[in-house]
Structure 1
């Protein structure tokens, strides 16, 4: 099957905003629009990158989510080279770098200010030399096919419109080697038991923050990932699923294999 087109070049680590146009990287509309105040506006970035704020947004579950995510990564060859597709607030980046031991880490983000945060945290933890940082759009990864052993998407898919979500998944699976893993930490499926699912006013409140969440809630994530894998000539098998906060959040591990 024909490989997906990699049509946006990588740039040097932590590029400045003025380099965006020259690098051919465009901030996606859903970031420059709804999420601008949280991810691009410097005062907002400063505010949201405080642990009490982060933990409030995820209903006190941040530590559990990160712990459950990192359980799938270690210094062994089984984890190998790892790519974090979109940086994240909090201490995920330095903890992941530390957890990987001598295994290399690549962190990408489409926003220079977010790469700057990752750079600062890695330096403060004495781990900067362990990681490569790339200005790159998750929808158009400029990496070779089968370049990484492991991939991680942490609370990324819920922020994307459906079409962007599928492109990001297709590219993520494309760059992961057969036999490797893709770990996805996300909101759980929409159910009927959790209080935040049952009552429309509470669902409405959550969706004011995450306007694209409903389409993720109402789709089978495992089926979506497998469908996207087939677009890259691969298939995935769900090997582990951890539910957090009574299923409001989930961490899923997929094993990636060749389709044949």
Structure 2
């Protein structure tokens, strides 16, 4: 693998409340998944994030999730698939509307948190998200967790689909993410993460919590912008990858 996208979940503040160091992360990543009013974000945060990304040449995607600010979108809110499709369409449309005012094009969609995890295994949820993305304007791409139902349903819907892996999350032997409540699920050491992802770039194999590896295919790597030490981790990861001759380029084009 001689090139890969580096993405981060950003724009996750709300009103006077901020989350992470978006400005620093935008100096490192090639794609930014911006919250669009569900789990986080509002019109002002969206606008500022869009303009900051554009100033740095970072490609922008929408990051819709459950409308659950208190739980940061990491709790499943029971909803029928049709309602999920409308929720996704409303949030992505909101970001597209603010992006029009900012002079920025939204290129792709990546589901957030509990919504993404549910869509990883539930075909009907994945299909609802894929159909919503397909029917929105802009010929949006879908960024999906590697090897999941969302990736499958996105391709069935005729979307441009790109698979991603997570730099700062542990994996199970079946290729799924280890739940956050499990010890060791979230990785914190920048050098460990950088070495792990360089090996993945070279071999396509991801270490499994408890031992072993699992084969995964991905064109994008995510670093969570809200994690402690996220900037140091993203910087170490980019330095290690570029030092090994792997170019950092947005999958959706600049």
Q: TM-score, normalised by structure 2?
A: 0.31
What is the TM-score of this pair, normalised by structure 1? 0.30
